[in-house]
Amino acid sequence: MNDEVLIVGCGDIGQRVARLLMASGRDVTGLIRSEESAAPLAEAGIRSLVANLNDPDDLQKLPGAGGLVFYFAPPPGGGITDPKVRTFCAATTGANAPKRLVYISTSGVYGDCGGALVTEETPANPQTSRAKRRYDAEQTLQQWGEAQGVEVIILRVTGIYGPGRIPVFRLQDGHPLLRLEESPPTNRIHADDFAQVCVAAAEKGAAGEIFNVSDGQPGTMTEYFLAIAEWVGLPRPPQISMDEAKKVMTPLMLSYLTESRRMDNRRMLSRLGVKLRYPTLAEGLKASLPQG
């Protein structure tokens, strides 16, 4: 395989992955949309390429042909398809196709599972438009992978938290939380652990394989915010019923609270041999926030 690595959508997770790869001597290019996003890459010593995934002309002769690509750019904000992924796939065929691609999807593609344990064998059942766009991207990449002989590996990741990604502002703004008893189970992963999962998936995943990615410690969204409040020394927000929440919470927040799953991460641990640095929220928060 060509030694060059291309990270399409080199934002927070992409930069964490790039740092791990560069530490092991790999040659990495990060693709971003805007010139402003090139500055943090330059600071981290990551070569950048400014290109818009919506513009086929920008995607001629991408680095990564015959090599490894991480595709981390999110789908657009509306609709039920991912045109960016389609444009990327159309531009990377034949000699321009990579050998292997790791895609970040979300656990949202499973839809509401009524709190049940979700394995990679659980059928996808995307219900929100956001989840449908992700599932469309997964399917587009899988079909392209089969047609072009690209080994596509899909990571269905849960909520990502870590330094710079803790929603302290929600607590400072006094947003209410859903009552603890009504708050459904959900899952998380620390951003640095997720980055090492991405690298391990690229090294050990097989063509067509799907991995659930989570720390394996389900908790509720309310528990998550209460733990952050305690850690930073902010007052515990008021708790409200689901009926009240439907009146005051944003549709996005409500969509997180009306789907419930417990992600099974055993395939990730056993097949990829990942040793989590932050297997619990308490350990992960400690590494993400200064104590209040």
Ligand X SMILES: NC(=O)c1ccc[n+]([C@@H]2O[C@H](COP(=O)([O-])OP(=O)(O)OC[C@H]3O[C@@H](n4cnc5c(N)ncnc54)[C@H](OP(=O)(O)O)[C@@H]3O)[C@@H](O)[C@H]2O)c1
Q: Which residues bind to ligand X, rule: CB under 6 A? A: 9-14, 31-34, 37, 51-54, 72-74, 84, 104, 106, 157, 159-160
- Closer to ligand X at the Cβ: 137 or 272? 137
CB of 267 to ligand X, least distance (A): 17
Using CB atoms, what's the residue nearest to ligand X? Answer: 11
- Closer to ligand X at the Cβ: 104 or 229? 104
- Closer to ligand X at the Cβ: 50 or 242? 50
CB of 66 to ligand X, least distance (A): 22
Burial class (CB in 10 A: 0-12, 13-18, 19+), 233: exposed
185, β-bridge pairs: 220
Q: What is the DSSP letter of 54?
A: T
Q: Which contacts of 92-97 are long-range, i.e. CB under 8 A and separated by 24 or more positions? A: 92/59, 92/62, 92/64, 92/65, 92/148, 93/144, 93/147, 93/148, 94/148, 95/65, 95/66, 96/61, 96/62, 96/65, 97/65, 97/66, 97/148, 97/149, 97/150
- Closer to ligand X at the Cβ: 227 or 240? 227
Separation of alpha carbons 215 and 268, rounded Å? 10
Smallest CA-to-CA distance from 234 within 162, 165, 158, 177 is with: 177
CB of 52 to ligand X, least distance (A): 5
CB of 284 to ligand X, least distance (A): 13
- Closer to ligand X at the Cβ: 159 or 279? 159
CB of 193 to ligand X, least distance (A): 13
